[in-house]
Structure 1
Amino acid sequence: MTERPVAFSLTLTRPPSPEAPPEDTGGSHADADELPDQPVESTPTDPPWTPEWARGVMVAAVSAPVASRRIDQRALLRKASRQQVLRSVPWQHRPSTRRGVQFLLDHSPGMAPFQYDRRWLHGLMTSVAGRDRAEVLRFTGSPRRGVVHADSVVREPYRAPAPGTPVVLVSDLGKLRPPLTGERTARLHEWLDFIDQVLRCGCPAVCLTPYPPTAYPAAVRDRIALIPFDRRISLRYAREATRRVHQMLEERT
């Protein structure tokens, strides 16, 4: 599908959702290699994630680690065993949405078959993060070409949010290139430039995408957390994907 022109009349290939797994795992874990190789067309009654743990997956996508009021005893013991000077109290971190989120909705031609997914994810994000903490932007091609605020029709230059604020995309990152769309679909180098811009500003990047992570080159997977539209996605998968990108950003700084 990704190597030849396709029409928008895609065939629904999403498998039936499995039985709900035990609560402590947050869902049956689907590894990246087990996810479908092709995107799935959305329908109004078939959301991209299983509703039982969809909120948890979205929380993992839009939250950032913040210091809690609990002492990180492991870090404290590690410093003591190494006889390191304790200049500050090491606190445990917990995921929180208090930093807010920048939510970017891709309206490029390749995302046309997934308009219901895009709308559903937008509503879910709002219920999780809150309208007052979410900056919602629309774009075509890539955000570097300009963005439009939710309550406006004027295209403006893209500006990254404050450092530490998650930047969450609903996009295929230019993977699906419908025929006759030309340069309206951004190519890989443009997306890499955008992701690097976000990382330089100290913001973790997450992409909610109709494609599995294995469909993207390593240059993309190493920079951004990829959470696919797949009803087998678990909380553990989403948390691990976002934890990795937060850790990578911390190492860069």
Structure 2
Amino acid sequence: MSGQPAQLTMLTPLLATGRHHPGWSFPALAERAEHPEEASLPHHPLLPPHSETATLQTVLSRVVPEGEVDTRRLLEEIATGHPLQDFPRLPVRTLRFGTQVLVDLGPGMELFARDQAELVDRITAIVGRHATEVLYFAESPLHRAGPGAGWTWRPYRPPAAGTRVLVLSNFGCHRPGTGLPSALWHEWQELTVLLRRSGCLPAAMVPLPPSRYPNRLTPLMPVLSWDRCTTTVHAEASMP
């Protein structure tokens, strides 16, 4: 060996070599963070998109005898010889009475928060902002409900007569066993009685198949499964 010290080869920084970065097949994590919309999964509504509008129109409307003249009934009245007080008319559906939407923000509906928000937007577009009222509650609206934050909620007051009141809730189906406690279920019964006495038409959309509805729910109000299998035909059969 010579008396000269050995020369060490130092590592050269990659950027100093002038080489290009490797062409990765997937973007870096930093690049994904800059475009979060690319990483988010698409959201699909619970109701079939091709029939959602028609289904909601059926759910939110009410039937009134204001269609064309019912010729068959008219002839029957004439045949009886009774004087006509008015022309009998065919039943038609109308949205002119407006809608009140009761949105359940309780623990059982947390998974459907986005679905609720989008459905409220669709209802507002169909019925009209001037004829749509949205109130929020947790598990039961009877004692506490309101359009804003929870601390502003007040005891429930029914809307004007004729209004369709649509409840978006699972009615305690997330609870193990029999569902809602008796006291909470009695509140729903009291609310339904209050609505009917006020001339309102209560109905519910539940994000569950009919086999999982509480047995005592359907006698209280018409119920429609809020699901991809639901069609306008189902809505017409469920809603009076």
Could you tell me which residue of structure 1 aligns to residue 139 of structure 2? 141
Identity, % of aligned positions: 29
Residue 201 of structure 2 is aligned with which of 201, 204, 211? 204
Q: Residues 1-253 of structure 1 correspond to what in structure 2 (within 5 A)? A: 45-68=43-66, 70-150=68-148, 154-177=152-175, 187-243=184-240
8 Å CA contact 1:174, 1:187 repeated in 2: no
Q: Larger relative CO (CA 8 A, sep 6+): 1 or 2?
A: 1
Structure 2 spans left out of the alignment, 5+ residues: 1-40
Number of aligned residue pairs: 198
8 Å CA contact 1:60, 1:238 repeated in 2: yes
Q: What is the CA deviation profile of residues 119-174 of structure 1, one whole-angstrom value per residue up to 9, with x for unaligned ones?
A: 12111111111111101100112110221125895112211111111000111122
2-structure distance, mates of 1:81, 1:174? 54
2-structure distance, mates of 1:152, 1:111? 16
Give the superposed CA RMSD. 2.6
Task: Tell me how far 1:192 sits from its aligned partner.
Answer: 1.9
8 Å CA contact 1:147, 1:156 repeated in 2: yes
Assess, with a 3 A threshold, how the Cα gap between structure 1 residues 79 and 107 changes in structure 2: closer, same or farther: same
2-structure distance, mates of 1:109, 1:132? 30
2:239 is paired with a residue of what secondary structure?
A: helix
**Once structures 1 and 2 are overlaid, which stretch shifts more, 209-218 or 50-59?**
209-218
1-structure distance, mates of 2:142, 2:83? 44
8 Å CA contact 2:67, 2:92 repeated in 1: no
**Once structures 1 and 2 are overlaid, which stretch shifts more, 216-225 or 48-57?**
216-225
- State the AA in 1 paired with 2:166: V
Could you tell me which residue of structure 1 aligns to residue 27 of structure 2? none
- State the AA in 1 paired with 2:190: D
Could you tell me which residue of structure 2 aligns to residue 9 of structure 1? none
Could you tell me which residue of structure 1 aligns to residue 28 of structure 2? none
Structure 1 spans left out of the alignment, 5+ residues: 1-42, 244-253
2:50 is paired with a residue of what secondary structure?
A: helix
Higher strand fraction: Structure 1 or Structure 2? 1
TM-score computed with the length of structure 1 as normaliser = 0.70
1:112 is paired with a residue of what secondary structure?
A: helix
2-structure distance, mates of 1:54, 1:95? 17
Task: Tell me how far 1:51 sits from its aligned partner.
Answer: 0.5
Higher Cα Rg, which structure: 2
